[in-house]
């Protein structure tokens, strides 16, 4: 598996290098190819592990904390990425954690903490799960009680709060 992955990475490097050699800047596609190449090198992404873990995380019988714990076990997956995976799979149930949305929520008097980054630490994983539960609770309150967000989808709320949070300082 490692040898096959190395062969793929060598081939991808050569292809990207050839594709951008004569360009004076990168387009989005090339940038994302380089980004994904580097992520693959850094995290040694295992396609079978991704399939196994996400299949388990998508099991409807699993609780939110169980789903997050499973997704955190994938190399390179923190709370923002885990929440994006869940939100894209279940947009009616989950939202994407974003620091700009957190800023906007804080400005609306929701006490949302900063996003934990050291998920190798058990306490930090628990804190990340708790943060996500609080984040979702805040969005549900807005969705149900705030006239501006009444009956809006999580995605619609996120987009509005994202834009609002980008204009806030700190």
- pLDDT tens digits for range 108-132: 999 999 999 888 899 999 999 999 9
Residue range 75-104: average pLDDT?
94
> Is the whole model's pTM more than 0.75, yes or no?
yes
Rg (CA), the chain: 19
* pLDDT at 46 exceeding the cut of 50: yes
* pLDDT at 155 exceeding the cut of 80: yes
* pLDDT at 102 exceeding the cut of 70: yes
What is the average pLDDT score of the chain? 89
């Amino acid at each position: 598996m490692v040898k096959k992955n190395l062969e793929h990475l060598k081939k991808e490097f050569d292809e990207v290098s050839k594709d951008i050699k004569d360009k004076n800047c990168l387009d989005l596609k090339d940038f994302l190819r380089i980004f994904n190449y580097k992520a693959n090198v850094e995290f040694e992404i295992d396609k079978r592990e991704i399939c196994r873990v996400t299949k388990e995380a998508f099991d409807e019988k699993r609780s939110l904390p169980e789903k997050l714990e499973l997704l955190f076990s994938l190399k390179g997956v923190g709370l923002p990425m885990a929440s994006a995976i869940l939100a894209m799979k279940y947009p009616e149930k989950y939202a994407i954690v974003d620091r700009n949305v957190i800023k906007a929520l804080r400005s609306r008097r929701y006490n949302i903490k900063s996003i934990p980054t050291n998920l190798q630490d058990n306490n930090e994983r628990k804190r990340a799960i708790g943060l996500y539960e609080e984040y979702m609770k805040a969005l549900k309150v807005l969705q149900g009680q705030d006239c501006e967000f009444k009956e809006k989808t999580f995605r619609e709320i996120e987009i509005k709060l994202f834009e609002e949070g980008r204009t806030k300082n700190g």
